[in-house]
Amino acid sequence: MSTEVLICGAGRTPFGRSEATGRQLAVDAVNAALADAGIAWSRVGAAFGGSDSAGLADTLVAQLGLIGLPFVNVKNGCATGGSALISAVNAIRSGMADVVLAVGFDKHPRGAFDPRPEDWGLGAEYGSDGLMVTTQFFGMKTQRYLHDHQVTSRTLALVAEKAYRNGALTPEAWRRKPLSAEEILDSGMVSDPLTRFMFCSPGAGAAALVLCSPEAARTMDGSPVTLRSAALRTRRHGSFEVFSPSIPAGEPTSVSRDASAEAFEQAGLGPRDVDVCQLQDTESGAEVMHMAECGFCEDGEQERLVASGATGIGGALPVNTDGGCIANGEPIGASGLRQVYEIVQQLRGRAGERQVPGSPRVGFTHVYGAPGVSACTVLSR
């Protein structure tokens, strides 16, 4: 059997606040992906999916249909969607099924995430002493990076400005009001150097993909996109991990460098081949750092690239064309698949007002989550 894997259907829901349950949002996204592929639920041979706080993915069969397929629950923090996708890819490559579903969904309450220290292998004192607040770690990591590579806080504001501008062009985005860099800088400091409007917000939403073998794709409608690679890595010693009170001396290791390098090696392509990409932007500093960690520039070059408009929709390397996490919010289970959904639309030429010009042919996605896990994909048409 061929090891090539295609994405033949993609669906998502609006992100933000919703009266619907997380499970209902997931069902909506799955049905949209099935319709996009032109197939019925009964054609799916296996499924993988998960959420952080909205329920068990395997129970979706109660609404989708009791057809007896294997449905595996996945829970891997911000990499839940990416992990479900990699599981689906391996299911096709192993011959388990020729049509496989990957779905991610969530519905978070208002306010910041509230992880339990015990779930992360940490003592209860982490919570009582205030060490489970993720914003402070993002701020410290960004502050160090800006200092070491002469990047200014205005670059952080320009990244967020682009996110809100792109979000205004994305019907399913949560934050659809453009904001200026000045408004973002003046929005109130949260964790220096990151201000309020430089962060994403927890929210609700779902995304789903239907993957298939080339043989199965020939029996379907639609416009399949080739998934050239999918890679997942956890942190190595020396990483700047979330929830750690210290880091070893020297240059930090990067799980994003490891995952992206593996994804490019599997695909037989490199960063220079990419026409459009999605990078994890839990906050503005993340997008800046991940540009270099994923190989798209050298450390410190972001200052010039962002200011020049190179990462805008019409630039040399469009980044987060749908507004990323900053504009869409972050339903944890859905974010990684939302990224892939956007690249699929871009490569198909169906991204509407946010469509990258010049018929992009290669796309890349990257997700990073606490305490140090990353999933990356390379897609082409």
Does 1 have pLDDT greater than 50?
Answer: no
Angle at 104 between CA 209 and CA 197, to 5 degrees: 115
Phi, psi of 280 (to 5 degrees): -55, 125
Q: Could you tell me if 214 and 2 are in contact, meaning their C-beta atoms sit under 8 angstroms apart?
A: yes
Model confidence pLDDT, tens digit, residues 73-131: 999 888 899 999 999 999 999 999 999 999 999 999 887 777 888 888 888 888 888 88
Residue 367, classed as helix, strand or coil, is: strand
Nearest to 136 by CA among 347, 308, 354, 283: 283
* Helices marked H in the chain: 22-37, 61-64, 80-94, 125-128, 134-149, 153-167, 181-185, 214-217, 255-267, 284-293, 302-308, 324-328, 332-348
pLDDT at position 260 is: 98
Cis peptide before 371 (omega within 30 of 0): yes
Nearest to 172 by CA among 205, 128, 138: 205
Return the amino acid letter for 379: L
Contacts of 68 (CB under 8 A, 6+ apart): none
CA atoms within 13 A on the CB side of 110: 2
Model confidence pLDDT, tens digit, residues 23-53: 999 999 999 999 999 999 999 999 999 999 8
H or E stretch covering 364? strand 362-369
Q: How many Cβ atoms sit within 10 Å of the Cβ of residue 116? A: 11
Model confidence pLDDT, tens digit, residues 216-243: 999 888 799 999 999 999 999 988 888 8
Q: How many Cβ atoms sit within 10 Å of the Cβ of residue 40? A: 11
Model confidence pLDDT, tens digit, residues 143-202: 999 999 999 999 999 999 999 999 999 999 999 999 999 999 999 999 999 999 999 999
Region 297-303: mean pLDDT is: 97
